[in-house]
Amino acid sequence: MTMFNLTTDQRVDKALANNFLRQATRRATDRLRNNKYKASDELGNWEEWRNAGETIRKHVIANLDFYLHQLIEQMEQRGVHVHLAKTPADAVGIVRNIVREHDAKNVLKSKSMISEEIHLNHALEEDGAAVVETDLGEYIIQIAGEPPSHIIVPAMHKTRQQVADLFEPIAGHALSSDTPTLTRFARIQMREQFLRGDIGITGCNFAVANTGSIVMVTNEGNGRMVSTLPRVQITLMGMERIVPSFRELDIMLNLLARSATGQRLSSYTTILTPPKKSADSDGPEEYHLVILDHNRSEILGDKLFRTALNCIRCGACFNVCPVYRQLGGHAYGSVYSGPIGSVITPLLEKDWKKWGHLPYFSSLCGACTEGCPVRIPLHDLLVKLRMRKTQSGHTPQVEQQIFKAYRYLFTREKTLRRALRLGAHLQRPFVRNHRITGGPPPLSNWTKSRTLPMVAPKPFMQIWADLNNKR
Amino acid sequence: MKVSLFATCLTNAFYPEVDLTMAKILKHLGHTVDVPEGQVCCGQIAFNSGYVDDAREVARTLINSFERSEVVVGPSGSCIAMIHHYYPTLFENEPVYLKKAEDLIHKSYEFTQFVVDVLKKPDLGAHYKAKATYHPSCHATRLLGIGEAPLKLLQHVNGLELLPLPEAQLCCGFGGTFSVKMPKISEAMVAEKAEHVLASGADILLGLDMGCLMNISGYLEKINKPVKTMHIIQLLGEGMKS
């Protein structure tokens, strides 16, 4: 995972220098975004759907203890093993133990962002298990050894040729890079894997509290294979991923599929109410549900950031974000990228040194907030994160001094006039053709790629005062 | 009506002609114009950077200076959005100033919004022959909900051909301190915006926020593209002279 070893600046440079990545990201996000507009317009009253989505999510989060309890009770009554993991390490430990207990050699996975969050694959491989990602995008980045670059489209950044190059060593012969050839190859690989799987690991888009059901949304059907063929199944879920009942699920599935890919419903919506009953012809006999906290409880108790838990991981904010559009996901350095990743990563990981750059990966244009199907005020949350970082003393000294000076001058209009007069004088060495073309940092950050207008010889406040004195 | 001008910190320092023209237009429409002393800035630059305490004092200064104003009008969607969208949070623990902030919110407008929606004067009788395109600034559009007002003003300018701007909804990459804190990302964003402006075929780029226009014009100049950028106020001012 080379991306993780670079500094933020290096990652940004690398992303900006990668024209293919940037073109691919632009194309893919445009397509997803436009599909979403079509699918949401078609409902005729999208804003009401958003209101409903927001209401449901807020209600669940406000009553999360109740619904978690209900979900766990439902699950345990039927013989599902429910595990509560406080930290990513706990979650990894739980899964590791299950894999060891069954002496499982082949672990199949369908797409799970939680497994990325806890860095599960690496740990299982260390134990000697073969871990196979069965979502095509995840399969590609697993072979490449890279983190996902988009929560919905993890291999968005790969060309067909790059995919063919990744597949060739496995195929043992040359592969043409056309899509049918590549998908056929992956499908054949998957088929063999599905039949060999000892344990299936899946994610969870929603858990229905009052029935104890797990809902998975996929487009390749792999989630269905992973959850029917192996004898043992583990489902990983974030503790906030709950809906009260099937009534709310209906609304949330509409919001999710339409916002994520512009589909009315994804190709496969799998609803499991485990474990396998005696009359069922397939399905896992042993079922484990791992519920991850990883500081979500703390976010829940934090008035400023609670709404971040309302997210349904649709990726709509990625597809409208002008920063993500330029960079793709890897430049963020985090498992969750895009606007929502910039919000939740610092909250989940609680490490300003490592993740303090993320709240600044936004021009605060508000497109994310506008695009969110459950109305999370994402750009406001980014500002609040900057505030929290500032208040806990994690911003640079120079920056703190600049804002002290700002506060002094910008509360004293007359003094500012004198300062501006001084500025008009000091700018002279940097002026070419009536524009400022250079200067000391942080001004130079601007002038490297742009010119700046000159400070006016007289500020407006002075001009106005002079005009009125003359009269 | 007695209208108080909010000369934003950016126009005050770099583009005083925008403030001055705004005053002229409002006077031309028959209103009394004043510029209350002591006003400087809405505080957004500090607020958006996380320096809330510093922002609050700057905001307090602004609130104080407009305390006796009937109506406040500024040439920036972003600064007015700061007042409308964030002042309530900024003063949530100060009942006295919260009340004053709400007062200011109720009487403050962005220029195009004020002229079109309050004064109902979309036709200022301006004449300006040019091909132009309009960049809908993010804060004006998304936070203030300004959609039609600037377009209505422009549609009434005689001789002005308004061309569509591709991907107009994309941020130009200014974002206040974002432009110097994340300069490379900001540059990539403004480069794309410039690409769309050039593709529009317009000779003039119009907007209602000098921050965005300063960013886009600064980039266009650096890459030697002769598209002119103007605040809508500047275009109207020029157009009303003839």
Distances (CA, A) of A283 to A189, A230, A275, B61, B162: 22, 8, 7, 67, 62
Least Cα distance to A216 among A327, A135, A299, A149 occurs for A135
Do B19 and B79 meet the contact criterion of CB atoms below 8 Å apart? no
Residue type, position B7, single letter: A
Comparing CA positions, the residue from A274, A240, A262 lying closest to residue A68 is A240
A58 by DSSP, 3-state: which? Answer: helix
pLDDT reported for residue A379: 98
Q: For the beta carbon of residue A301, count every other beta carbon within 10 angstroms.
A: 9
Of B13, B183, B184, the CB nearest to A456: B13
Task: Convert the pLDDT of each residue in A401-440 to its tens digit.
Answer: 999 999 999 999 999 999 999 999 999 999 999 999 999 9
Check pLDDT > 70 for residue A114.
Answer: yes
The residues of chain A that CATH labels 3.40.50.10420 are 46-297
Q: How many Å apart are CA A173 and CA B179, to the nearest integer?
A: 49
- pLDDT of A471 higher than 50: no
Which of B9, B42, B92 is most worth mutating to test chain A (most A CB atoms within 10 A of its CB)? B9
The closest alpha carbon to A312, from A44, A90, A61, A4, belongs to: A61
Closest CA to B220 of A455, A452, A322: A452
Q: Do A390 and B41 touch (CB under 8 A)?
A: no
CA distance A329 to A265: 25
What's B216's domain CATH number? 3.40.50.11810
Contact A435 B219 (CB under 8 A): no
- The span from the CA of A204 to the CA of A312, in Å, is 11
Average pLDDT for B40-48: 98
Mean pLDDT of B14-39: 98
Tally of domains within chain B: 2
Write down the mean pLDDT value for chain B.
Answer: 98
Q: Which two tokens stand for residue A118?
A: 């806890």
Distance CA B21, CA A222 (A): 64
CATH architecture, range A46-297: 3-Layer(aba) Sandwich (3.40)
Chain A hits for B60, CB-CB cut-off 8 Å, are: 411
* pLDDT given at position A452: 96
Q: Would you say B74 and B110 are in contact if contact means Cβ atoms under 8 Å apart?
A: yes
Residues 310-349 of A with CB under 8 A from B: 322-323, 325-327
Q: Is the dihedral of CA B173, B178, B180, B183 positive or negative?
A: negative
Q: Which of B54, B146, B195 should be substituted to probe chain A, the one whose Cβ sees the most A Cβ atoms within 10 Å? A: B54
| H/E segment holding residue A163 | helix A160-171
B127-134 and B204-207: which strand pairing? parallel
Please determine, for residue A180, whether its predicted confidence score (pLDDT) is greater than 90: yes
CB atoms within 10 A of CB A83: 18
Residue of B nearest to A321 (CA): B170
> Are residues B113 and B185 located together in one domain of the fold?
no
Measured between CB atoms, which of A13, A403, A443 is closest to B46?
A403
CB nearest to B16's CB, from A365, A411, A456: A456
pLDDT of residue A4: 64
Residues B151 and B102 in one domain: no
Domain's final residue, options B67, B100, B117: B117
When CB atoms are compared, the residue of B61, B169, B189 closest to A326 is B189
> Chain A 77-96, CB below 8 Å of chain B: which residues?
none
**What is the pLDDT, as a whole number, of residue A1?**
42
Please indicate, yes or no, whether residues B126 and B72 belong to a single structural domain of this protein: no
Nearest chain B CA: its distance from A14 CA (Å) = 11
pLDDT at A470: 54
Query: Which residue of A lies nearest to B193 if distances are taken between CA atoms?
Result: A322
Q: Looking at the structure, tell me whether residues B61 and B145 fall in a common domain.
A: no
DSSP code at position A332:
G
**Residue A385 amino acid letter:** L
Q: What is the 3-state secondary structure (H, E, C) of chain B?
A: CEEEECCCHHHHHHCHHHHHHHHHHHHHCCCEEECCCCCCCCCHHHHCCCCHHHHHHHHHHHHHHCCCCCEEEECCHHHHHHHHHHHHHHCCCCHHHHHHHHHHHHHEEEHHHHHHHHCCCCCCCCEEEEEEEECCCHHHHHHCCCCCHHHHHHHCCEEEEEECCCCCCCCCCCCCCHHHHCHHHHHHHHHHHHHHHHHHCCCEEEECCHHHHHHHHHHHHHCCCCCEEEEHHHHHHHHHHC
Average pLDDT for residues A112-117, to the nearest whole number? 96
Q: How far apart are CA B74 and CA B145, in angstroms?
A: 16
Q: Is residue B91 located within the same domain as residue B129?
A: no
Asked if B175 and B68 sit in the same domain, the reply is: no
CATH number of the domain encompassing residue B99: 3.40.50
pLDDT of residue B77: 98
> Do A461 and B35 count as a contact with CB atoms less than 8 A apart?
yes
Asked if residue A50 has pLDDT above 50, the reply is yes
State the angle between helix axes of A46-62 and A64-77 in degrees (0 to 180), rounded to the nearest 10. 80
The pLDDT score that the predictor gives to residue A3 is 60
- Over 50: is that where the pLDDT of B122 sits? yes
> Chain A partners of B46 at a C-beta cutoff of 8 Å?
403, 406-407
Residue B193 Cα, gap to closest chain A Cα (Å): 10
Residues B43, B58, single domain; the answer is yes
Same-domain check for residues B158 and B86: no
Residue B95 sits in the same domain as residue B148: no
Q: Are residues B51 and B94 in the same domain?
A: yes
Domain boundary among B60, B85, B117: B117
Where is the domain boundary, B117, B143, B165?
B117
Contact A379, A364 (CB under 8 A): yes
Q: What ipTM was reported for this prediction?
A: 0.97
Residue partners of A192: CB distance under 8 A and separation at least 6 = none
What pLDDT sits at residue A281? Answer: 85
DSSP string, A93-135: HHHHHHHHHTT-SEEEE---HHHHHTTHHHHHHHTT-EEEE-S
Q: Kindly tell me if the per-residue pLDDT of B114 is higher than 80.
A: yes
At residue A362, the 3 state secondary structure works out as: coil
Range of the domain at B181: 122-241
In 3D space, the residue among A45, A75, A54, A121 whose CA is nearest the CA of residue A309 turns out to be A54
Q: Which residue, A15, A3, A36, is CA-closest to A261? A: A36
Return mean pLDDT, chain A: 95
Q: Hunting for tokens 């999208």 — which residue is that?
A: A46
Rounded to whole angstroms, how far apart are CA atoms A133 and A143? 9
* Contacts by residues A101-104 (CB-CB < 8 Å, ≥ 24 positions apart): A102/A198, A102/A199, A102/A232, A104/A129, A104/A198, A104/A199, A104/A232
- B126 plus B111 within the same structural domain: no
Same domain, B113 and B165: no
Distance CA A336, CA A301 (A): 22
Residue A2 has pLDDT above 70, yes or no: no
Q: Which residues contact B23 (CB under 8 A, 6 or more apart)?
A: A464, B5, B33, B35
C-alpha distance from residue B228 to each of B126, B131, B211, B218 (Å): 19, 11, 15, 11
- The CA distance from A367 to A217, in Å, is 25
The confidence band for A278, taking pLDDT boundaries of 50, 70 and 90, is: confident
CB interface of A with B, residues 128-187, below 8 Å: none
Give residues 406 to 445 of A whose Cβ lies within 8 Å of B: 406-407, 409-413, 416, 420, 423, 435, 442-443, 445
Partner residues linked to A131 by β-bridges:
A107
At B153-208, the pLDDT tens digits run 999 999 999 999 999 999 999 999 999 999 999 999 999 999 999 999 999 999 99
